[in-house]
Structure 1
Amino acid sequence: MRVTGPLVAAGLVGLVIVWAELVHWRSSRRLTNPDHGGTEAVVVLGYRNPRADRANALNRWRVRAGLRSIDPGAPSTRLILSGGPYEALVMARYATEVRGYAGEVVCETESRGTWENVRNVIPYLEDRERIKIVSNPLHAEKARRYLWRQRPDLAARLVPAADYRPGEWAPLKPFFAAYGLLDLAQSERRLAARNR
């Protein structure tokens, strides 16, 4: 049987999609512990949002992933939305006004990058038994790495969030995987240089 060019191309595309799914799945679990129940903090990391009146598509998705990460059996949940003022506030509005979330919400509005996201939410994590960090899985892994560097005692409370679903964002996952892996490698180099 002769294999044609379109068949080979389709096979390669399929392999790239499967690779991206595996990268995201693995990243969504890395640097977490088994979920043991108890009070929780769900930290949603914002993405640049140039408008003050509406969350962009990525921030809306991150909020939805944050809301589905909430354990309905938790005795207490604190939803923490972290980013610049536009990101945190528009995500909070989206969570409460559009998605109907009625629980505790904290807006952290001073961060200008992932390291600051993590540093600035630490006061809201101290009294929580479980911590979930929500973003694109590779970005959330980066934030978890930063928490391990800044506060290993709190990082020991990290459990998986629900920011990975098979097939979700499938057409963009190869790009997100490639960019995320490169970003993780660069952040590790920066952390290593900082420790010298």
Structure 2
Amino acid sequence: MRRRAGLAIAGVAALAWGEWLNWRWSRVLVGNGGGASEAVVVLGYRNPQATANLINRWRVRTGIRSISADGAHGTRVIFSGGAAGGGTAEAQLMADYAKSVLEFEGTVLLEDQSATTWENITNVIPLLEDVDRIKIASQPAHALKARAYLRRQRPDLAERLVRADDYRTGEWTVVKPLLALYGLWTLRGLKADERKVSL
């Protein structure tokens, strides 16, 4: 009985830890940017098949729901990601999913050359120069990494970063501890000042 109780407590603690860490990451390196124009950058994930995979479908939904209520038509959604294994570019697969399945009718731009997160950021910068608010949509740890990369490459644009709707309590709860562990590993290269919660 005690063993079961201990396992149950450990399981609840792991779930709470995963929730907390993902919540925290979604609030790092973002501000309260104002202004009328907005861009949502949706980062692709390895996608060798002919349609958007589970991760990319979730990222597209996250990007679409991140559009400010007052900016639905003025927001540009930028899908970023090159071709995995010589197939169709991740950006194109995500855009196709957004239009055909989610029936998104807003402005869509494609960046279809990137193979890494650093390249994602490098290649979308020209598409961000004239917007007031920038949101990066992905899993919270990955989005934080991308925000840190934007800060390193273009600190002036990084000042325009605001939160995407990439964290929701109870969403992916069961896998959040695994996402948190993986996130800790992928974020190990971030500096101390790139880990501070902004809000």
TM (normalized to structure 2)? 0.90
| Alpha-carbon separation, structure 1, partners of 2:33 and 2:190 | 27
Partner of 2:86: none
Partner of 2:197: none
Partner of 2:134: 131
Partner of 2:25: 27
**Structure with the larger RCO, 1 or 2 (CA within 8 Å, 6+ apart):** 2
Partner of 1:172: 175
Give the helix-richer structure, 1 or 2. 1
Which of 41, 48, 56 is the equivalent residue of 2:53? 56
- Residues 38, 133 of structure 2: 8 Å contact kept: yes
Matched residue type, 2:108: V
Which of 158, 161, 164 is the equivalent residue of 1:161? 164
Misfit runs of 4+, over 3 Å: none
- Residues 39, 77 of structure 2: 8 Å contact kept: yes
Identical residues among aligned pairs (%): 52
| Alpha-carbon separation, structure 1, partners of 2:74 and 2:131 | 9
- Residues 38, 76 of structure 2: 8 Å contact kept: yes
| Alpha-carbon separation, structure 2, partners of 1:35 and 1:125 | 14
Matched residue type, 1:69: S
Matched residue type, 1:46: G
Structure 2 residue runs of 5 or longer lacking an equivalent are 84-88, 192-199
| Alpha-carbon separation, structure 2, partners of 1:130 and 1:151 | 14
Q: What root-mean-square deviation, in Å, do the aligned CA atoms of Structure 1 and Structure 2 show? A: 1.4
Which residues of 2 match residues 114-153 of structure 1 at below 5 A?
114-153=117-156
Length, aligned pairs only:
186
Give the CA deviation at 1:72: 2.5
Partner of 1:80: 78
> Larger deviation: 124-133 or 78-87?
78-87
Structure 1 residue runs of 5 or longer lacking an equivalent are 189-196
Give the CA deviation at 1:173: 0.7
CA 54–116 in structure 1, closer or farther in 2 if over 3 Å, else same:
same
Partner of 2:5: 7
| Alpha-carbon separation, structure 2, partners of 1:76 and 1:130 | 12
